[in-house]
Structure 1
């Protein structure tokens, strides 16, 4: 299953319109100064993201990063698949994208961003270069494919720090649509009128700098703990199989 680099760009262009991404943020060259624990996302943002999945995952040929099977049902797209097919590619620095460590890949494998040219290990993630040129000052890349952003998905939505009112603990394998539905129920229960701000790790952490985000000083110094400390409450989203109760980070939270 192959999705050309041009398709990744088309997906990004559509996301700018559908999701209301900040174009200035996307084109900036430096890392954001927004602290990880201050990268909240709203229910409105999450609803738009769920709608984007429903409309575009089949159009752009999303695949499961482990099985490499085509994603056929938008209602079942989980965070692993969303990060691999969308968040990773659109937030990666020019020249590479994030690859799940559990995926065994050969140099000629076809991938969402195009042809895999080589692999580089960096921290706990594996980066696959897909543009045909090595990154750096000597690279010559078509202007329409150039993007300088390197950060989290939340930073594409907002330019300022936003503290979350609610910290969300959940299982990445749960369908994103179900996850959003649960937060809609939470919103209704607490009469937030769609204005509540949530801290969701997949959107707050930079998926291309995950080791830097987590740090080396343990969970109590992590952005997870800092975001928990700032929030007024926590939301535990329980998936259909209650897998969330077996996840290490969820147990910590």
Structure 2
């Protein structure tokens, strides 16, 4: 598709074969448990109890360094390829990796907060099928949905997709530390800061952190946040449970200008 100035725009689609190959590698490298999502119709782990360990975050940083160029990750805003693993931020990580792996093939995602772009582009990949049910929009992030004339429901279609933390652990885990941060900061730098925090408090790599990108379902984010305001959000509940908070300050101190970080 061409833009208004008649120049070709790079495609933003994530090839299904590459997404599946990446997922298969992630299962091995990161120890993901796909059955934690595939066998559920709803989450049984409260959002505020979805902590992630520093060990898991270190593995994720290593995965980015090894695989982001291999699988041709792109920036969802500029549509440019991500050339430097050291600069991959959370926006890029969620679009290229967390979104797709937390919506396994055959899953559907219902979320009216998602903005559908040109050519049915959506965060996390291509929407292969779009419907409207009442006032809500239904989109398939990956996989082929049942045909419009099918009489029987597809047994492989699920309405649930969860958080990244739920792929790592199938139980509630309270975070010792709540992390407030800017999504535009490189993930590698983010993990480096938590390494320093771990050393300062002598946690031995065993600290548990609440990180919104990993605790919230990125394909059902509007449902996670709710409609009753910040004091009823999983952010507030996680803050209330944690014994301390970590403010990860990026190089430009952008974190000090973000609304949610200010609330935290």
**Same fold by TM-score, threshold 0.5 exceeded?**
yes
Instruction: Work out whether 1:114 is the aligned partner of 2:125.
Output: yes
Please, which of 237, 243, 257 is the counterpart of residue 226 of structure 1?
237
The offset of 1:70, in angstroms, is 0.5
Distance 1:46 1:135, change over 3 A: farther
SS at 1:96's partner residue? coil
In the TM superposition, what whole-angstrom CA distance separates every residue of 1:41-83 from its partner, at most 9, and x where no partner exists?
0000000000010111111111101111101100000000000
Higher mean displacement: 35-44 or 204-213:
204-213
Distance 1:99 1:72, change over 3 A: farther
The offset of 1:29, in angstroms, is 3.2
Structure 2 segments unaligned to the other structure (5+ residues): 1-11
The offset of 1:168, in angstroms, is 0.2
CA contact (8 A) 1:3 1:112 kept: no
Higher mean displacement: 95-104 or 196-205:
95-104
Distance 1:71 1:162, change over 3 A: same
The offset of 1:161, in angstroms, is 0.5
Structure 1 segments unaligned to the other structure (5+ residues): none
Distance 1:18 1:177, change over 3 A: same
The offset of 1:92, in angstroms, is 1.9
CA contact (8 A) 1:93 1:147 kept: no
CA contact (8 A) 1:152 1:203 kept: yes
CA contact (8 A) 1:219 1:225 kept: yes
Distance 1:92 1:137, change over 3 A: farther
SS at 1:11's partner residue? helix
Higher mean displacement: 183-192 or 28-37:
28-37
In the TM superposition, what whole-angstrom CA distance separates every residue of 1:120-178 from its partner, at most 9, and x where no partner exists?
68999987535574368977999999888611000000011000000000000000000
In the TM superposition, what whole-angstrom CA distance separates every residue of 1:172-209 from its partner, at most 9, and x where no partner exists?
00000000000000000000000000000000001111
The offset of 1:7, in angstroms, is 1.0
SS at 1:144's partner residue? coil
Distance 1:242 1:131, change over 3 A: closer
In the TM superposition, what whole-angstrom CA distance separates every residue of 1:6-52 from its partner, at most 9, and x where no partner exists?
11111111111110112321431322211000000000000000001
Higher mean displacement: 20-29 or 141-150:
141-150
CA contact (8 A) 1:37 1:226 kept: yes
CA contact (8 A) 2:113 2:222 kept: no
CA contact (8 A) 1:65 1:103 kept: no
SS at 1:128's partner residue? strand
How far, CA to CA, are the matches of 2:72 and 2:80 in structure 1? 10
CA contact (8 A) 1:77 1:175 kept: yes
Distance 1:214 1:102, change over 3 A: closer
The offset of 1:96, in angstroms, is 6.5
In the TM superposition, what whole-angstrom CA distance separates every residue of 1:187-246 from its partner, at most 9, and x where no partner exists?
000000000000000000011111111111111111101000000000000000000000
In the TM superposition, what whole-angstrom CA distance separates every residue of 1:84-121 from its partner, at most 9, and x where no partner exists?
11001111264568899999865536789775445568
How far, CA to CA, are the matches of 1:5 and 1:172 in structure 2? 26
Higher mean displacement: 137-146 or 42-51:
137-146
CA contact (8 A) 2:104 2:142 kept: no
Distance 1:173 1:140, change over 3 A: farther
